Amino acid sequence: MLRRNAIAAQACLYLAGLSLLLQFSTPPLTDRIERIRAFTRDEEFDYVSWIAEAAWKKVEAASVGLPDTMRAERQAAALADYLSTTQRRMELELSLEGILALPPTAADEAAASRVRGELARVESRQKVLTPIAESVVQQQLTDVLADFDLTLFGQPLPAVLYQTTRAPLALIVSPRHRIEQAANISLQADLTLDATARLERQVDQNLDVSSLVVPVGGVGVYPTMVIQSTDVRWLAETVAHEWTHNYLTLRPLGALYDASSELRTMNETTAAIVGTEVAGLYMDRFHHEPAGAAERAEATIQPARNPRRQVRLAPPSFDFRAEMHETRIHTDRLLAEGRIEVAEAYMEARRLFFVENGFPLRKLNQAYFAFYGAYGDIPGGAAGEDPVGAAVRELRAMSDSLASFLNRMSWLTSFQQLEAAIIDARVETGVQ
């Protein structure tokens, strides 16, 4: 009971602090954002309602003592039951989509009715299991964060809280003459592909920009939003990634997330590094993942499970990251020369090249690179020759622990400070 009360208390304090930060630190919306929102207002995601509902669900889960009232083996069984139920729901949804995509017949209607009936039963079961599974993962990740010395008296600040949901889509907008995230506007999760394409065309044609609507795997509100998945490693990595954003929010680096593209990349790369390392220990401690499993999963991971990575349908000989790295570098060069139309034609040609090699990219433009290029935890890829991600990786390599790395990063307010921190770390470690 004492631990649950402590978690509830720190969550309330975090939400109060976050409210103050949003009230006093968020700059006024610029004319540019308002011009974009003229096209998106009717489709924007309602965070206020979602956070209120998610917070209440967490209070309900805490009120019945989840997961403290369950033994370790029961927790593991509940999580496994949830994952298998979720897998069955996804299979049924896919089956129903396939039936409805065909011209209706009496047999198809009967089959659809049977699938809907089973889907309703599975959804009901999943609804019961979801708060249990979430509480188990939250507690297990709390234990792992304690192993990394990222807790105070055994509890992370803020507490690990996440809610499984259909995450909103994100409209990313970049200028055409350079790659830079000028806007990131959350849209309703059920926006159709036709509506998505129409919105992108309206924004591009009326504002002379490059836009792209992208899926996201999670959002760092509180409780954090995480999409449905049966991949335990990805789930742990995403929850830890979004928790890191929560951790950074009330520190300078997170508070300045949108101040510049460099700071955005510093935030995302830091969160990605923490998420990967925490997930690794989580899998080793709670799921006994065999060596090499993470690398094999990385090769075949689906964008619906991790939208930051691309589905691989091509043979292993095709190196997506290397090809995308080359594409970004050449695009940057063309844009720097002022050859905007040539750069855009080149990106479209490269998109078709990726499609031919098994990577079905819907669009490849400045907005694509502005979004995906901010994740610099792995060399190459959409980041191109951007030095920011490499600098964050270097500071992690010279830090004696994940906790010291995260603490050092959290107080930085510019890329120049990051460069200075690397120089200091080199002196401390004797690296020239």
Same structural domain, 239 and 382:
yes
Of 138, 159, 180, which marks where a domain is finished? Answer: 159
Could you tell me the pLDDT band of residue 309, with boundaries at 50, 70 and 90?
Answer: very low
Residue 267 lies in a domain: yes
Same structural domain, 133 and 244:
no
Same structural domain, 142 and 279:
no
Look up residue 250 and give its amino acid.
Answer: L
Has residue 244 got a pLDDT over 90?
yes
Same structural domain, 418 and 298:
yes
Domain extent, residue 6, equals: 2-26+47-159
Of 80-84, 104-108, 161-165, 413-417, the range with the lowest mean pLDDT is: 104-108
**Rounded to whole angstroms, how far apart are CA atoms 14 and 247?**
10
Same structural domain, 137 and 274:
no
Same structural domain, 17 and 126:
yes
Same structural domain, 10 and 123:
yes
Give the containing element (helix H, strand E) for 185.
strand 183-187
Residue 42 lies in a domain: no
**Rounded to whole angstroms, how far apart are CA atoms 143 and 91?**
32
Residue 190 lies in a domain: no
358: left (phi over 0), alpha (psi -120 to 50) or beta: left
Q: What is the pLDDT of residue 62?
A: 86
Of 118, 141, 159, which marks where a domain is finished? Answer: 159
Tally of structural domains, the chain: 2
Helix axes 340-356, 320-336, angle to 10 degrees: 170
Has residue 88 got a pLDDT over 60?
yes
Same structural domain, 424 and 342:
yes
Q: What letter does residue 176 receive in the DSSP assignment?
A: S
User: Higher-confidence residue: 149 or 3?
Assistant: 149
Q: What is the pLDDT of residue 284?
A: 96
- Average pLDDT of the chain, as a whole number: 88
The residues, any chain, with a CB within 8 Å of residue 351's CB and separated by 6 or more, are 361, 363, 364
Contact predicate 383/356, CB 8 Å: no
Of 159, 194, 221, which marks where a domain is finished? Answer: 159
Write out the two tokens for 8.
């509830």
Residue 100 lies in a domain: yes
Same structural domain, 117 and 241:
no
**Rounded to whole angstroms, how far apart are CA atoms 9 and 386?**
41
Write out the two tokens for 308.
């930051």
Same structural domain, 153 and 73:
yes
* pLDDT tens, position by position, 275-295: 999 999 999 999 986 545 555
Residue 215 lies in a domain: no
| pTM exceeds 0.75 for this model | yes
Of 17-26, 80-89, 406-415, the range with the lowest mean pLDDT is: 17-26
Residue 290 lies in a domain: yes
Same structural domain, 381 and 261:
yes
Contact predicate 404/413, CB 8 Å: no
Same structural domain, 234 and 144:
no
Residue 337 lies in a domain: yes
Task: Tell me the β-bridge partners of 210.
Answer: 174
Residue 208 lies in a domain: no
Q: What is the pLDDT of residue 432?
A: 67
**Rounded to whole angstroms, how far apart are CA atoms 395 and 140?**
28
Write out the two tokens for 354.
């990726």
Contact predicate 165/226, CB 8 Å: yes
